[in-house]
Each structure stands twice: as C-alpha cells, then as structure tokens.
Structure 1
Amino acid sequence: MRLRSIIPALFMACAALAGGVALALETPPPASAPANREATPVDPEAKRVAQALIEEILTASHAAEIYGDLQRTLRDVYIPMMREIIQGGYPGMPDPNPEVTAQLAKLLTAMDYMRKAGEELDVALAENRGAIVSDFAAQLAREASRDEIADVRAMMDLPAVRKGFDVLYAASKLMTGYTYEDSRIVSEFSAWAKQLDAAKNLKGLPGLDGNAVSVPSAAKVRKAQAVVEDLIRISHLEDTVARVKRFARDVYLPTAPVSEEERAKLAAQIDEFEFTYNMRKALVLALAPSVVASVLSDADLDTLHRFVLTPSFAKGFDLLSNTVVAATAFTKDDILQAEKSFEDFDRKAQVRERAKNDGEKVTDEWQALIDKWREKLADRLSPETRQGLERSLDDLDKTGSPI
C-alpha cells in the first residue's frame, strides 16, 4: 500500500474508539461493491505490531482523556448553562425573546440527546474496544508490511510527535478545563466590564489624549497597584514571554525553512521584539497603577480585584500557560530529527507507491470496515435516543443553530 495512507488509517481506528457518537451517527457514503477483506491473509506478526501501534497512538494522543473531557463539559457545563440562559438570569446574557427561546430549546434538546448517546455508547465502546483494535489492526496488516508498520511506529517515538500530541491535549483543555461556576464568573466579569465607562472610553493613557484627568489619591494608587501585581502574578506573563522568546531564538530561527537573508531578518525582528517588550513593560508597570486608579472608582477597583482573585481567573491563565509551555517545549534537535524522519518516510512511500486502482480497493476496504463498526455502534443506541437525536439534529439543520 502507499505508506502515507497508513497514518490516516490509524487515526480512523482511534476515531472509532474515541469518537463513538460521531462515528455511529455519521451518514454512510453510497454503497459500493463490498470488499472481501477476509479473503486476504493476515500476517500474525504484522497484526501484532499493528495492534501495538494503534494502542500506542491512543495513549500518546490522549484520545480517551480528550473524549472524556468533552463529554463532561457537555454534561456539566454547556447543558446547565443553556438551561439557565433559556430560563433567564444567566450573568451577562439578556433574557431571550420567545423566538430565540424556541431555537435555544431545540439546541438544548440536541445537546441532551448527544449526552445520552455518549453515555450509551461508552458501554458499547468499552465492550468492543479489543475487537475494534483487532479489526483495524488486521486490516492494516493486510495492506502494509511489518517494515511499513515499523516505520510508522518509529515516527511515534519521535520527541516532536509526542510533544505535538501534548500541545493538542493542552489546547483542548482551553475548551474543556472549566466548570459551570467558572463559566458564570467569566460571563459575569464580561458583563461588568462592558458597563464600565472606562472600558468603553479609554483609548489611550489618561491625560495624554487631550482630556482632563483627576489625580488619584496615594491610597487609591496603592489599591490599584495590588490589582495590577496580582494580575501579573496569576497571568504567568514573565514566564510565558520568556518561553516564547527562547523558542523563537533557539528553535524557530535556526530551523525555519527560509533563506539566510530571511533568517537574518527574523533574527533582527526577534531582537526588536525583545527590546520593545522590555521598554514597554517598564513603562506599563510604572504607569499602570496610576492609570487604573484614575479611571476606576474605589468600588470598581474592589470589584476588579475580586474577579482577579477568583480561582476561575487563575485557572484560565493556568490553562493558557500550560498550552504555551507545551507549544514551546520543542527543541532544535526535536525539529531537525523529525524533519529527517519525515523525509525518509516520504522517500520510502514514493518507492512503495501502488497503482491507482489498487489504492481505490484499499479505500473501499477501509470504508467497509468503518461501516461495519458504525452499524454495530449505532445498533447499541436505544431507539428513543437514536430517533430523538436524529430528529433534533434535523430540526437544527432546518432552522439553523441559534449559536
């Protein structure tokens, strides 16, 4: 088979195990002639290696954790939030009119059926996990040699590949790392900030835009300074900027696929950024307390400080920092090693290229395997859940989602 096609096939197997709801409900393509997969013998050793590879990808990609986080967030955050928005009184959201309420109710119904489908399919996936891996490994072993599978597995051991999966996992937490209470606090803060005249009118530094400004008291400046210091502390700003600068200078600059002239320009831009950042940081740290104190009342300062000190604010910055840490964890050697491995992989793929009609046959066989497990998983949904989900999704498709 084409060596390149092993990788999409492997992720089909991972999707079957980690994304059961989508797989079970996906509309199958028009039926083609059934592929007789069983007619092709399977090398037992190749199948064993393929199974190990699939398991390794499932572990390295954090597929189960991401899928579980998405289910939890749907159940514990988005569904309760939607209910409260429909009922009225959700922080920062106006009470919906009857037309919007009807649309939101349809969306809530679909979300709730998705939750039920996920819970029902969890049981089916747990019971059939071994069989799914075995089937996909057997198909992989029919279409690829031991050496081809071993080449892909060697790529899985690359630090850059592992770190790439870690970046995706950290980024997924930006959507799934919050609780329902976190969502309410963030929405409440957003609504409060929009109501501030300062948030609407502050275009530049007070006193430098031609408008008169009152001089805040020393006590008020100290209060504002406490807010600024706590905000900088929880934001991990210094650590984040330091990591980005290191990555740009030590990793991206020497490995970027550009000419030496462009590389020299990049180096100059990095130097300029570092100089500008240090200069502006000193200016902001010196002026920020006075600026904040001059545009916010004492009550506003207290409210802002209360928001800054909430665990929800700290969590948001922590999740963002974790993503930056993961994204900048690559080293120069990681990138160069990965580039060489991918070049070798692509060269072998071109050598092992097969005829077009052979590739179409392989595609049909993979599709037949996907259809088999789609039907099996869909059959495990209760009639009420399956029909309700299909009906609610059709309703949304006809009227359009309100969000």
Structure 2
Amino acid sequence: MPLAHALLLPGLEDIVRQGDPCRCADAVRRIAELFIAGAENFHPDHVNLFDGVFATLVPQAGTEVRGELSERLASLGNAPPGLLRSLAQDEEISVAGPLLRRSLLIDDAILLDIARDRGQSHLLAIAQRPIVSAPLSEVIVVRGNGEVVRRLAGNAGAKFSTVGYSGLVRRAGLDDLLAVTIGQREDLPAPVLKDLLSVTVDVVRRRLFETAKPIAKIAINRAMGELASTSRSVTVARDFTAAQRLVVTLHNDGGLTEAALLGFAKAYRYEETVAALSAMSGVRIATLDQLLMGERQDPILILGKSVGIQWATVRALIGLRFGPGRAPSAPDIEEARLNFQRLAPTTALRVLNFWRLREPGA
C-alpha cells in the first residue's frame, strides 16, 4: 500500500493484510469521519486517495457499516466516485437505498444499470429521487411493481417522455389508485389526460374530478367531452352471425377450448375470435368488438386473465388487432407480457363484471 494511504490511519496496512472484519469496520468509520470533516475543501487528488483506501477496506466491512457509510455520504457533494458506485450497486437495499434516494452524484448511466438489473426495493428507492430523468422513468414503468410505479407517478420531480406516459396510462387501466395519482400530476399533458380517462371506470373519473384543482377540472371536462364525441363516431359494421353459429356448435361439441381460440387468432379470423371470447367471458360481442378495436391493449390482458388463458394466446390476440403483415414493437409486447403477469385474476374479474354491468339491458 502506498505510504500516502497508510498515513490516513496508523496501522492501516496491517489491518488490510489481516482482514479482521471488526478492525476493518472500525477503520472504515474512522476514515469516514476524517473524510467528511474535510470533504468541502478536498481537491480531486485528495478524494481519489480516500477512494482508493475505501476500495480496499469497504468490501471487508459488514452490511451495517456499509449502510452507515452510505447514509453519511448521500448528502455530500464531493464524495469518492468509486465508493459511491460500489455502494449504490450493493445488493443490500439498506446499503444502496440512501444513495439511490438522495445522492445527486450518482449519474443516469449507473442508475439505468441498477434499474435494469436490481429488484423492486432498488427501483422504489430510485423512484423517490428528487429528479428522475425520462429514460430512467421508462425503465421503472416497465419493470416496477404497483407500489413502485405509483410512487414514481406521485413524484413531482419525475420526468416522463411520450413513451413513459404511454406506459403509465397502460398500467393505470389495471390500477385505479395509479390512475388517480397520474391524474393529480400538474404537468400532465392534455392528450395523456384524455388517454387516462379513456381507460378508467366511472368511479375513478369521479374521484379524479373531485380531487382536481379548478383549472384541472376544466381540462377533465374538456377531455370527457371529446371522448363522448369520439364514442358517437361511426364505426365499421361487422357481421358476427356465422361466427356465432360456429362457436355455438364448437361449444356443444366440447371444442370451444383455448386451442380453438388460439387457432382463430393466429389465422386472423376476427369474427370467430370475438364470438369465442364472448362465449368464454360472458361479455356481449358488441362490447368486445369495441374494446378489442380500441387503441389500448389492456382489455385483451384483462380478458385473458379473467378467462384463464395463457400468455401465448394473449399474444396472438394482440397480434390479431394489427392484422397480417403487421406486428407490435418488441418493447410493447414485453411490457404487455409483464403487465399480464402482474395482473391479479381478482382485478381482471372485477373489470370484466364492470363491463357486463354497463351493457344495455344488464
């Protein structure tokens, strides 16, 4: 070890050589005190000196000591960069958490790597940062669970790209609390608000309106008016008569199975697919036709989860909407797969029952 390193603490070289965890922990604490006391006045070469010493000692220190060090460094503006990277990437959230939540010295490249590789506790910590960039938000929206995404949506310092907002709205179609949280953002663009309202049920729309500020209520009323106008537009009429007869015959013969549904979807037989889904779910054909031909994929995920079909069949149903020779993007499919995996059957059934209750004559 260079002499300059040894001067930081008498006997440091001997401590490192012996590798005694208790002595290493004590050394880390004492050197941390020394660094923090002079951090504001240290030049880069001084910081690098401490960085090298910490790189030798910290891996031998226990989780408690690493967590203490992380907590103390989180608010510093002049901390050893190598040490910060090491602690922020630590598998223990008690170590990584303080830096992920508060340190402004952790750059986006490191945060993106952590967001892609670590678990939900690390994502939750990143979602609480004072500023979350749009690229980072995109990763969190795709990988995060409900708690993580709701925390991100409620963070005024989080930025969202068009892709990020689109992902948020898709998630909101399956999460009422998330929908309300998104609707309360002051930076919500008007097109996103309209998309959000289009995927939420009436009770959520009412709650959004009730909790909104006066200027936001005007925007909600305007968006609802546009949605009502859109719903009255002329749609292409389809004849499901022959498809219904075929599905009834299949049902009577015991052939109305997931395999049959998959076959219809893969062959792009739209009418037969919708008729089969209607028989399996108890939702009327007219309602399903409107849901499947909309811009959102959430109704397909809800239908699939509520009737108990596998992802491969849901994937084929998504492809059915695009038609032969066209396909959704790989990121969109992966996001849909993750959302389908996260969707609870009880939530799907609740939405399905809502669709049934809204049908004429129900």
TM-score, normalised via structure 2 length: 0.20
Larger RCO, structure (CA 8 Å, separation 6 or more):
1
TM-score normalised by L of structure 1: 0.19
